[in-house]
Amino acid sequence: MSKIVNENLTVTERIHLGSDIYLFRLAPFTRAGLIKPGQFVHIRIPESNIYFRRAFSVYDMEPENKTIEIMFKVFGRGTSLLSKLHKGDTLDVLGPLGNGFKLPSRSERITLIAGGIGMPPVYLLARKLIDKNYDKSKLIFFYGGVTGADLVHMARIRRLGIKLVASTDDGSFGYRGFVTDAVRNETDFRGNKCRIYACGPEGMLKAVERLATEFRIPGQLSLEAPMPCGIGICLGCVRPLAAGGHTRVCRDGPVYDIGEVVL
């Protein structure tokens, strides 16, 4: 885990991406250049009686101007209040928190799987791999949603220069079916040295884990969980481990090896 800082950041850009999804660009964050894909920040909801902070995966960062981006969908009161902020407003931000993805070897074929609002950490991992000159032909990015409105910023993913396969449950955009169905349809795991990375709803992660187990593919999953404190004290995000015992998702995760946590 990187050194944690607590700073007041300004909303330098607020973009409504549709379908109750928002992108905030925040600066200046002194640790922007040290964030690892899969890590998150903890944000206090301003001017409200909401006590607990909200956790958001870092979507992107620009170390040269100390900027980070978060993307979120309005699900409840906290994200609803956050969505009403404007450019120039200030947010109390704690981070970077959690443990990020471990990078693969350069000989492996990489399957990146993002479901809905789980896209940001998977995108940041893809960007990290490209920045480190991984072979683009060995990367494939699967992005799934319930409908086409759930798939945002695909142009940014395409700019990475890697293959992108979009899917929707209702068939309104791209492959019709679950994102893991698209993975099975588009990927030949037999005889290849492969690795999977995924983030999304728990149902999707269970399906990814079944697929990985079937083909004996290693990889990592970024879990979503309530994280009231973000630093492992409150035990609000505890999950059982497959080998016995429990883990704190905010402190020990949110990234885990496939099969490590009971989903």
pLDDT tens-place string over residues 14-32: 999 988 999 999 999 999 9
Average pLDDT over residues 96-121: 97
Return the pLDDT at 124.
98
Return the pLDDT at 2.
63
Summarised one tens digit per residue, pLDDT across range 120-147 is 999 999 999 999 999 999 999 999 999 9
CATH of the structural domain 109-257, one choice from 3.40.50.10490, 3.40.50.300, 3.40.50.80, 3.20.20.80: 3.40.50.80
Domain ranges of the chain: 5-97, 109-257
Band (1; pLDDT cuts 50, 70, 90): low
The reply to whether 5-97 and 109-257 are identical in fold is no
- pTM, two decimals, is 0.96
Residue-averaged pLDDT of the chain = 95
The total of other beta-carbon atoms located within 10 Å of residue 47's CB is: 9
Q: Give the chain's length.
A: 263
First CA to last CA distance, the chain: 23
Query: CA torsion, points 125, 127, 129, 135, in degrees to nearest 10?
Result: 130
Structure tokens at 155: 């142009």
Class of domain 5-97: mainly beta
Determine what percent of the chain is predicted with pLDDT higher than 90. 90
Average pLDDT over residues 65-89: 96
Return the minimum-mean-pLDDT range out of 115-124, 197-206, 225-234: 225-234
Band (48; pLDDT cuts 50, 70, 90): confident
Nearest to 168 by CA among 186, 184, 148: 148
User: For every residue of 118-156, which 3-state class applies, written as one string?
Assistant: HHHHHHHHHHHHHHCCCCHHHEEEEEEECCHHHCCCHHH
pLDDT surpasses 80 at 192: no
Return the pLDDT at 96.
97
